[in-house]
Amino acid sequence: MSFSNPLNKLLSPPQDHNGLVCSVSGRKRTRWIKATAWLLLGQLWCGTVMAAGPRPKNIIFLIGDGMGVAQIWAGYTANKGMLNLERCKHIGFSKTYSADDYITDSAAGATAFSIGQKTNNHVIGQDATGKSQPTILELADKQGLATGMVVTCSVTHATPASFIAHQPHRKMDEAIAADFLATDIDVLVGGGRQYFAQREDKRNLLTELAGNKYQIPTTLEQFEAIKDGKVVALVADKHLAKMSEGRGDFEPRAVRKTMDLLSKNKKGFFLMVEGSQIDWGGHENDADYIAKEMQDFDKTIGVVLDWAKADGNTLVVITADHETGGFSIPSGDLQQGTFVGKFTTKDHTGVMVPVFAYGPGAEAFMGIYENNTIFGKFAEALSIKVPTK
Ligand SMILES: [Zn+2]
């Protein structure tokens, strides 16, 4: 059987057409075998590296809360036929159900991404048995990468909380806020100041954060003026304003500044960005709310993709935790940028949601897969060691 083995063939001395060994001296033959072995090793090494594909230094993970295909189409229509999202060429679908329900909530949805296991609804950063598990953000931090989050809700809300806190219920805002003190996140931007500074236990977490060398700006402008170092920027008592009530270009600007700050770390960074209020438009069955929040999220996506393109070492992944509202668009006009929205529920639905990827490692996000496998794809891309659960 040795003739069918290419390894044997390569390591055998050259033969003539009759299968007779060509006349080579013993020394030449040894040299020939050595050269072939090195060539083979080289090929194996190249093969391994190439099979693994290019690896990113940074990951930017954007979650459009409640962003199904119709929500995306609402933004496309309101933009009169344009989305930055279309620049992503690697696309897949994520199955969103939680460990205990056909319909996930945002806590279980984000925890599946953050710890790599599906958990029960309402649970933050813990598995389905109630055990706290390290999140991708915490593991990235442990490995020396910079970490950050930018959201348009309270930073204690389900999605951002799931990347840092470990609590049995999403409603425990003050306990979740206290968990932020146990981490070493570099840049945190959003709302929720009241859960840090006006607490039942009378602790002032902002003072404690300042003691841990955090800068604590309270406006976007103050945040943008920061040159270096760790920052917690809580610009609202609870959630930020809706786009329709004057949030303006807060998120694209905050994300641009955060990327500039995090990229000072030579080892790379992990940044989570949430389009938090697309979901709330769905809960309120308000198609205009959805469209405006989707347009803002896509503007942020544009800023991120421009930055990633210039950087060349950044993987960008954009998806949703679930769809909200059973939203559909039975009619519309692309020239006018108008459409009619219909809803089937005031809650989330169980349908798959799209995943868009851009940059080195984007191929791994093609196909149809469980939401919790996104964690492993991130860990693999950043060569993050995952402790055995
Ligand atoms: Zn929701």
Q: Where are the domains of the chain?
A: 2-50, 55-381
Distance 65 CA to ligand 1 centre (A): 7
Q: Check whether 9 has a pLDDT greater than 70.
A: no
Query: pLDDT of 101-146, one tens digit each?
Result: 999 999 999 999 999 999 999 999 999 999 999 999 999 999 999 9
CA atoms within 13 A on the CB side of 49: 6
Q: Which stretch of 14-23, 53-62, 147-156, 264-273 has the lowest confidence by average pLDDT? A: 14-23
Percentage of the chain surpassing pLDDT 90? 85
Percentage of the chain surpassing pLDDT 70? 86
Is residue 114 annotated as part of the catalytic site, yes or no? Answer: no
Query: pLDDT of 279-300, one tens digit each?
Result: 999 999 999 999 999 999 999 9
Between CA 181 and CA 208 the distance in angstroms is 8
Q: For the chain, give me the number of helices (H) and strands (E)? A: 14, 14
Of the pLDDT bands very low, low, confident and very high (cuts 50, 70, 90), residue 13 is very low
Q: In 3D, which of 372, 339, 337 has the Cα closest to residue 355?
A: 372
Q: Check whether 45 has a pLDDT greater than 50.
A: no
Q: Check whether 333 has a pLDDT greater than 90.
A: yes
Query: pLDDT of 294-321, one tens digit each?
Result: 999 999 999 999 999 999 999 999 999 9
pLDDT of 183: 87
pTM for the model stands at 0.87
Distance 345 CA to ligand 1 centre (A): 12
SS3 content of the chain, % helix, strand, coil (to 5): 40, 20, 40
Q: Check whether 40 has a pLDDT greater than 80.
A: no
Q: Which residues pair with 63 in a beta bridge?
A: 274, 319
Name the catalytic one among 94, 106, 114, 263: 106
pLDDT of 2: 38
Contact status, residue 354 vs residue 319, Cβ threshold 8 Å: yes
SS3 81: coil
Of the pLDDT bands very low, low, confident and very high (cuts 50, 70, 90), residue 27 is low
Of the pLDDT bands very low, low, confident and very high (cuts 50, 70, 90), residue 381 is very high
Distance 280 CA to ligand 1 centre (A): 6
CA distances from 123 to 114, 154, 157 (A): 12, 17, 12
Query: pLDDT of 48-63, one tens digit each?
Result: 444 457 899 999 999 9
Distance 228 CA to ligand 1 centre (A): 35
> Yes or no: is domain 55-381 CATH 2.60.120.430?
no
CA angle 132, 275, 377 (to 5 degrees): 50
CA distances from 228 to 151, 186, 263, 311 (A): 20, 10, 11, 19
Distance 348 CA to ligand 1 centre (A): 6
Query: pLDDT of 77-102, one tens digit each?
Result: 999 999 999 999 999 999 999 999 99
Distance 116 CA to ligand 1 centre (A): 21
**27 vs 5 pLDDT, higher one:** 27
Query: pLDDT of 182-206, one tens digit each?
Result: 989 999 999 999 999 999 999 999 9
Q: In 3D, which of 103, 176, 154, 91 has the Cα closest to residue 325?
A: 103
In this structure, how many other beta carbons lie within 10 angstroms of the beta carbon of residue 298?
A: 24
Of the pLDDT bands very low, low, confident and very high (cuts 50, 70, 90), residue 33 is low
249 CB-near residues (< 8 Å, 6+ apart): 296, 299
